[in-house]
Structure 1
């Protein structure tokens, strides 16, 4: 039996042209200083894509259009499992300039993704994106 709690989380691989948005976790949240794709927990009964659109709007103040599923992976973090579903998305409007959860936002090419200190749950998606 698996007694480890699983938390469902969604993240957006937001692209604008050939660049991908990456976000550094702020000092006020766990795994501070690590990089991730924007997103957060799915509320009970909430559709994952609806949760992702809501979370990006709350964190970054911008709208996105989800264009497809990239990956779903389970990662043990502490005493729980993070089930992270990553979706490809495009901006609706201007690029975000600030975040409620992150202290830095960067737009980078896929070839630059390996140069960041990633939160562990995001690593499987990073591997897919850097593989081309």
Structure 2
């Protein structure tokens, strides 16, 4: 079985998280996600996130700490998903290159969105982190 690293960036404004809805094509078409993407061989995970945010959203990010990691299988490939906290300057308008919608949502609102299965695991981690801090 082939193995790949894939990344997701957790971008926040105050207590709201940035999520994006994928175009209606591909294995996660029409589902919500934390932007990111597949690692190109030779890239660090941080380089992957910086490249993906620039390509998909046209923004520059700084990559912080690892928040979540888990493995999943899709089409006979084992993926190692790494979700990092990312930081960006404020922005208003974003291009629609791979997504059809963008939202800033609270943790409580995330249950109302259909996330890609892999990103649903990130949501669970974020919610558990929030509960343990209370």
TM-score for both structures, normalised by structure 1: 0.89
The 5 Å alignment of 1:1-132 reads 4-131=1-128, 132=130
Over 3 Å off, 4+ runs: none
Q: Distance in 2 between matches of 1:113 and 1:78?
A: 27
Q: Distance in 2 between matches of 1:117 and 1:80?
A: 23
CA deviation digits over 1:44-99, x for unaligned, max 9?
11111011011101100111121211111101223222211000112124145233
Structure 2: where are the runs of 5+ without partners? none
Q: Distance in 2 between matches of 1:83 and 1:108?
A: 26
Aligned length: 129
Q: Distance in 2 between matches of 1:65 and 1:8?
A: 19
Aligned alpha-carbon RMSD (Å) = 1.4
Q: Distance in 2 between matches of 1:126 and 1:39?
A: 15
Structure 1: where are the runs of 5+ without partners? none
